[in-house]
């Protein structure tokens, strides 16, 4: 016979195992996608912590759309290029990206503190585990 504590923990173990499985699958897809974008566009490689969130999103959407247009236009040949060709394809160097600081010092310190908040991290993690479990229909 199992104890009350074991009965309570078993569903959480199953939920976390399902979440880990789904997360691993999604992580592989995301890493593969970012790898393709980083290989083609240097702007995706650069640090973006000092950018506004909507600027980051716009850059990523633009890169994804351009990638899809290239795939549609060139088909299977789209992947047949090297880093040297990518850098020299325009015939000139890419201008340096100028990044403005969207926040003052206090706002940046608060954002950093928010990112490192252990309690918020655990709450978000538990919420994601529950969401995956609920969507799985179990």
- The tens digit of pLDDT for each residue in 25-65 reads 999 998 998 888 888 888 888 877 778 888 889 999 999 99
Q: pLDDT higher for 108 or 102?
A: 108
Q: pLDDT higher for 138 or 13?
A: 13
Question: How many structural domains are present in the chain?
Answer: 1
Is the distance from CB of 102 to CB of 50 less than 8 angstroms? Answer: yes
Q: How far apart are CA 60 and CA 65, in angstroms?
A: 9
- Highest average pLDDT, of 47-51, 70-74, 97-101, 128-132, comes from 128-132
SS3 state at 127: helix
Q: How far apart are CA 77 and CA 92, in angstroms?
A: 24
Q: What is the pTM of this model?
A: 0.52
Range of the domain at 93: 4-135
């Amino acid at each position: 016979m199992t104890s009350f504590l074991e009965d309570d923990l078993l569903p959480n173990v199953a939920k976390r195992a399902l979440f880990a499985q789904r997360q691993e699958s999604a992580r592989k897809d995301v890493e593969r996608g970012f790898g393709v974008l980083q290989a083609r566009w240097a702007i995706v490689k650069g640090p973006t912590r000092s950018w506004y969130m909507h600027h980051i999103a716009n850059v990523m959407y633009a890169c994804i759309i351009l990638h899809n247009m290239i795939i549609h236009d060139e088909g299977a040949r789209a992947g047949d290029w090297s880093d040297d060709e990518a850098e020299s394809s325009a015939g000139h160097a890419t201008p340096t990206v100028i990044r403005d600081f969207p926040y003052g010092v206090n706002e940046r310190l608060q954002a950093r503190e928010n990112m490192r908040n252990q309690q918020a991290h655990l709450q978000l993690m538990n919420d994601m585990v529950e969401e995956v479990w609920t969507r799985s229909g179990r």
